[in-house]
Amino acid sequence: MSTATEGGRAFGDSILDSQYAQHICSCLCLDLEMPALHRFNPALLTGTNGAVARQNILTSHLLHVQILNCQALPRAPPPRPPAQIWVWMNFESPSHSPGLRGLAGLFNWTMSYRADSDVFVPYGYLYAPPAPRPFSLPRKTRLVAWVISNWNEEHARVRYYRQLKEHLAIDVYGARGLALADGSVVATVSAYKFYLAFENSQHTDYITEKLWRNAFAASAVPVVLGPRRANYERFIPPDSFIHVDDFPSPRRLATYLKFLDKNKPSYQRYFAWRKKYEVHVTSFWDEHYCKVCEAVRTAGNQIKTVRNLASWFES
């Protein structure tokens, strides 16, 4: 079985498609010259909208975190004060992250959903609780749901949906479908057997809350369209999801979903992993701040510079 985080951190929906977003590209500016904090002392975390959140920080270095839009960063040398650490923070895919070529040599660290980031904060992760908890599958009265707010006819997910719906009834919520009350995604999707966890673009590790929250937290089997199956299997069991690439055509996928609908034992096998793992959906933005604190404490005086941000993130 693929690796799943056991007590570790690992995160899920496109920022453009979700309520979490403020900026596609942001920078965390960490000032290390201010007096040190003591254990459990609150640090002030200042966001781009001027709001201040209080967070207990277990570190002796991180004093102030400010989120800035990348476009507001200075470019003239020296661009970064020597006592500051600049972290490039982005949870959108390369397809929706313009302007990266002008950021070479500007940041010390990267923070994103990519596992090879300096500070890795995925949209969700699986963890093994100390003691197994009983899992009860909600009553399923409907077949397939899809929630989408960023509708674009050029996206692969919309093109695939248009082919799939020719062979299968799909309830669409959001921009081009049924109304969905705020905060009701999980409750709504829990009545469905399957959820279309279709990403807005296909890139390495770009597995968003479409999988973690909309499908897993709602106890629906995710039908995924995103990176390759092998990429998903780095984070979740291979028998926990259905990949569109497993089938030569949308018609064949529709046939398989109809088969599972009529064969309860086969359908329930997609929940076998629930005997061992629980689902965590990462919380924006408090968990991100905590991960930066951990990184500062671990790095000490070993600070690097990201020389070619674009080539790394677009690879």
> Which residues participate in catalysis according to the annotation?
92
- Quick one: which of 315, 309, 238, 271 has its CA closest to 27? 309
Q: What are phi and psi of 217, to 5 degrees?
A: -65, -25
Distances (CA, A) of 259 to 168, 171, 243, 253: 12, 18, 16, 10
Cβ–Cβ < 8 Å for 292, 45: no
- C-alpha triplet 143, 146, 150: angle, nearest 5°: 170
- Type of residue at 212: W
Cβ–Cβ < 8 Å for 199, 14: yes
Q: What are phi and psi of 99, to 5 degrees?
A: 80, 15
- Quick one: which of 69, 64, 93 has its CA closest to 289? 64
What is the Cβ-side half-sphere exposure of residue 26, based on CA atoms within 13 angstroms? Answer: 25
- Quick one: which of 12, 34, 24, 20 has its CA closest to 296? 34
- Type of residue at 285: W
Sheet containing strand 142-148, edge to edge, reads 171-174, 142-148, 192-198, 221-225, 242-243
Q: What is the number of other CB atoms lying within 10 angstroms of the CB of residue 290?
A: 19
